[in-house]
Amino acid sequence: MTPADIAAPPEQIERSVSPFREFTRAEWARLRADTPLTLTGDEVVKLQSLNDPISLEEVIAIYLPLSRLLSLYVAATQGLFKATQRFLLAEQETKAPYIIGIAGSVAVGKSTTARILQALLARWPNTPKVDLVTTDGFLYPNAELERQGLMERKGFPESYDTQKLLQFLSDIKSGKRNVAGPVYSHLVYDVVPGEEVHVDQPDILILEGLNVLQPARLPRDGRDIPFVSDFFDFSVYLDADEDLLHEWYVTRFMRLRETAFRDPQSYFRKYASVSEGEALQMAERLWSRINLTNLRENVLPTRRRADLVLRKGRSHLIEEVSLRRL
C-alpha cells in the first residue's frame, strides 16, 4: 500500500485492494467463448423457481461462461488429485467430489441458479453425475425449534443442525457411498420424518442455502472446528439490493397465497383465506422481522467470502459479476 493509499478514503482503499475482478454483464458474457448451449428454452422454464424468471439469453450470457470457468477449475482439481495420488503412492484412493456452495438471501433466486448449474454441469462428458442438496433439510424439525423457542429464528444459523450437516459433507468429501441426508418439505414447512436423500459419490455436489458461507463461532476451549465452507471447492453468492429482495419476497408470498398455500396440507394455508390486505401485512411482517434481520446479521456479511458474486438488478437479470482473484 502506497502513501497515497493511506491518505485515501476507506471506500477507495477497499476498491484498490479488492480481492475481486469486476465484470459488466457484457464483459462476462464474452467469456463464454465456444462453450456449447446444452439447454433448450423449455428446459430453462422448467428449472426456474416461482417469481424468479430466467431466460435462455440469461443462461447464455451468465451461466455458460460460469460453466466454462467451472470446467477449468474442476479439471485443475482433478489434475491436482492425480498428482497427490502419485506423490502418496495411493493409486486406489477414491476421488473426492467437487463441492460448490451457493449462498444468498431469501427470494434472490438461489434455487433457480442451483438447478441451472446442475443441468449444465451434468452435461459435461467428464462430470456426468451432479447432485444438488439444499440445507433446508438440516433445519431442526419444527417440534425441536418450538422446544428451543426458535420458530421465529427459522433460517438463522442457530436453527440448523450444523453438526449433522458437517458430518454429511465430511462423509461425501471422503468418498463414502450412499450418504443419507434429511428431506425438507416447503409445503408442510418442516423436515419430513423418515424421508432421505442419498448422495452416492457424485462428480460434483451443489449445496444451496442461506448461511453456507458463514463461519462458525469459535469455541473457547481450544478445540478446532470446521466451517461448512471448508468443504467447498468453489462458492457463489447471489446478491441484490435490499429493496429488490423485499419486493421479490412479498410478490412471491402473494403468489403462493393463490397457489401452494391453498393446498390443505400447506403450513401456510391460513393465509389463503384471509383478505389480500391482511396477507400483505403478514408478508411485510415476516420480511422485516425475520428475513431482513437474518440478511443483515448473517447472510450479507458472508458475501465477500464467496469466490463469485452474481449481482442482480430489478428485472432479475444479473448485471455485474465479481470473481475472486487466485
| pLDDT above 50 for 254 | yes
What rounded mean pLDDT belongs to the chain? 90
pLDDT at 1: 47
Could you tell me if 308 and 267 are in contact, meaning their C-beta atoms sit under 8 angstroms apart?
no
pLDDT at 192: 96
Q: Name which of 13-17, 73-77, 118-122, 147-151 the model is least confident about.
A: 13-17
> What are the grid coordinates assigned to 287, written together?
420480511
Mean of pLDDT values over 294-305: 96
* pLDDT (tens digit per residue) in 156-191: 999 999 999 999 999 999 999 999 999 999 999 999
Q: Name which of 54-63, 221-230, 295-304 the model is least confident about.
A: 221-230
Question: Does residue 4 lie within any of the structural domains?
Answer: no
Percent of the chain at pLDDT > 90 equals 73
pLDDT at 91: 67
pLDDT at 11: 52
Handedness of CA 200, 116, 262, 210 (dihedral sign): positive
Tell me the pLDDT band of 52, cut-offs 50, 70 and 90.
confident
| The model's pTM | 0.91
d(CA 126, CA 129) in angstroms, rounded, equals 9
| pLDDT above 60 for 3 | no
Question: Does residue 248 lie within any of the structural domains?
Answer: no
CATH number at residue 54: 3.40.50.300
Mean of pLDDT values over 41-69: 92
Question: Does residue 291 lie within any of the structural domains?
Answer: no
d(CA 303, CA 260) in angstroms, rounded, equals 31
Mean of pLDDT values over 1-12: 51
Question: Does residue 164 lie within any of the structural domains?
Answer: yes
| pLDDT above 90 for 245 | yes
pLDDT at 219: 66
Looking at per-residue pLDDT, the higher value among 65 and 45 belongs to 65
Residues 6+ apart with CB under 8 A from 299: 103, 104, 105, 210, 211, 214
Question: Does residue 288 lie within any of the structural domains?
Answer: no
Q: Which of 265, 215, 237 is nearest to 100 (CA)?
A: 237
pLDDT at 7: 53
The half-sphere exposure of 45 on its side-chain side, counting CA atoms within 13 A, is 3
pLDDT at 8: 53
pLDDT at 288: 96
In terms of residue numbers, what domain contains 70? 18-241+306-324
DSSP code string of 217-284: PPPSS------GGGG-SEEEEEE--HHHHHHHHHHHHHHHHTTGGGSTT-TTTHHHHS-HHHHHHHHH
Mean of pLDDT values over 104-127: 93
Question: Does residue 219 lie within any of the structural domains?
Answer: yes
Q: Is residue 209 classed as helix, strand or coil in its secondary structure?
A: coil
Question: Does residue 281 lie within any of the structural domains?
Answer: no
Max CA separation in the chain (angstroms): 68
Looking at per-residue pLDDT, the higher value among 10 and 19 belongs to 19
If one counts the domains in the chain, the total is 1
